[in-house]
Amino acid sequence: MEGGGRFRKALAALEAKERSDHVRILWLGDSHTAADLWTGEVRRALQRRYGDGGPGFVHAGWSKYRHEQVQTRVSGRWRTEPGDYARMKPYDDGLLGLGGVRHVPREPGATATLEVRKGEGPFLWEVAYRLPPGAALQVTPGEEESEKRLPGGGEGEILHRRFTTRHTHRLSLRAVQGKPQVMGVTVEASKPGVILDTIGLNGARVGTFLGWDEEGWVKEVKLRKPDLVVLAFGTNESSDVKPEAERYEEATRRLLKRVRRGAPESDCLVITPMDRAGAEYGARLAVIGQGMRAAATEAGCAVWDAQKAMGGAGGMERWAAESPARGGADGVHLTARGYQSLGESLARELLTLGGLPSEPKDP
């Protein structure tokens, strides 16, 4: 692929120790992204070579959430808003933060704790939150014994507050009263390295991200300052009985325009959908990929074909028949080994080229 100049130069400067800031990747997607297995493999490979910049974006208050680099714990009762978070229609005022959901304690004393599994501190934590009238939220950063109450203000806006931990790389949030809204936490190491933010939701489509408040989400993207934005969708779209390439092209184009507003100088990579078991899905995946590819080309983005990386059509069945299997029993998701394999394939090209890939080589 032609392009990838900013990302390539950023990685080169990081490797040459000529860059003082992190190289940030913002990866948007569905359940394949949310599992942080595929993305986790790419993150590990890049961090081994260029340095570990920390976990990046993490959800706080979500009991079923998984992140490769962070252990998350929840005590007390929390709810996720919206409950049907893969919806494509706006929810409430649409302000849901970078990750598209907000976590709200159901009772005073409910606590969400994040702890970095590995890495060298100090770590800089940034909490994104809102405090509706009557709500109060306290934070205990790292080794500090005293809680700090987060300040309010900015009527209806998402607020940000930073903390540093030097020895015990842990941060806890505790609801004091009311219904504070936690939009997520970013965690970054003090030394420059690679950070890969995983923004994935089970069941999500490109249209899911378009249902969020545009101005609010663009503002959150600007704060992350990504050097590369990745879009990895299409699996859930393949359930459409009558797919139309123009529909997926338009949705992808609209999301890329939002990305450009938040990160006008970043590089972009569109990953077309991986394979899915079932003869009826072959033609659908082709149509979806066609639409996504057209939007990516128009926007000057790189394109990587995940289905081709699995060996083309029928790849899911072949991977599922292996021992140990790389394809999942549901014919939709991969096993941990499968996600690792796909991540290795993409990471190998990123490391070889020092930038963005063109098309995956046959496995």
DSSP track, 50-74? H-B---EEE-SS-TT--BTTEEEEE
Burial class (CB in 10 A: 0-12, 13-18, 19+), 252: buried
Q: Please report which confidence band the pLDDT of residue 357 belongs to, taking 50, 70 and 90 as the band edges.
A: low
In 3D space, the residue among 93, 101, 126 whose CA is nearest the CA of residue 215 turns out to be 93
The class that CATH gives domain 1-53+193-363 is alpha beta
Name the strand (E) or helix (H) holding 198.
strand 194-200
pLDDT at 157 over 60: yes
User: CA 317, 319, 320: angle at the middle one, nearest 5?
Assistant: 65
Looking at residues 295-315, what average pLDDT do you find? 95
In 3D space, the residue among 104, 172, 110 whose CA is nearest the CA of residue 132 turns out to be 104
User: Residues, the chain, total?
Assistant: 363
pLDDT at 38 over 80: yes
pLDDT at 155 over 60: yes
pLDDT at 145 over 70: no
CATH 2.60.120.1360 range(s) for the chain read 57-190
Contact present, 162 and 124 (Cβ < 8 Å): yes
When the pLDDT of each residue in the chain is averaged and rounded to a whole number, the result is 93
CATH 3.40.50.1110 range(s) for the chain read 1-53+193-363
pLDDT at 236 over 70: yes
Report the C-alpha gap between 339 and 315 in whole angstroms: 13
pLDDT at 360: 47
pLDDT at 19 over 70: yes
What residue has token string 């378009």?
A: 210
Looking at residues 69-97, what average pLDDT do you find? 95
pLDDT at 95: 96
Instruction: Please say whether the dihedral angle defined by the alpha carbons of residues 99, 101, 102 and 105, taken in this order, is positive or negative.
Output: negative
pLDDT at 289 over 80: yes
State the amino acid at position 305 in one-letter form.
D
Residue 201 token pair: 């939701």
Q: Could you name the CATH architecture of 57-190?
A: Sandwich (2.60)
What residue has token string 């074909």?
A: 305
- Phi, psi (rounded to 5 degrees) for 340: -60, -45
pLDDT at 351: 86
pLDDT at 90 over 50: yes
Q: Please report which confidence band the pLDDT of residue 354 belongs to, taking 50, 70 and 90 as the band edges.
A: low
Could you tell me where the DSSP H helices lie in the chain? 5-15, 31-34, 38-50, 206-210, 214-224, 245-262, 280-299, 306-309, 315-321, 336-353
Q: Please report which confidence band the pLDDT of residue 272 belongs to, taking 50, 70 and 90 as the band edges.
A: very high
Instruction: Please say whether the dihedral angle defined by the alpha carbons of residues 148, 153, 158 and 160, taken in this order, is positive or negative.
Output: negative
pLDDT at 41: 97
Omega cis (within 30) before 122: yes
Q: What is the DSSP string of 92-122?
A: TTS--TTTT-EEEESSTT-EEEEEESS--S-
Neighbours of 143 (CB within 10 A): 11
Report the C-alpha gap between 162 and 223 in whole angstroms: 13
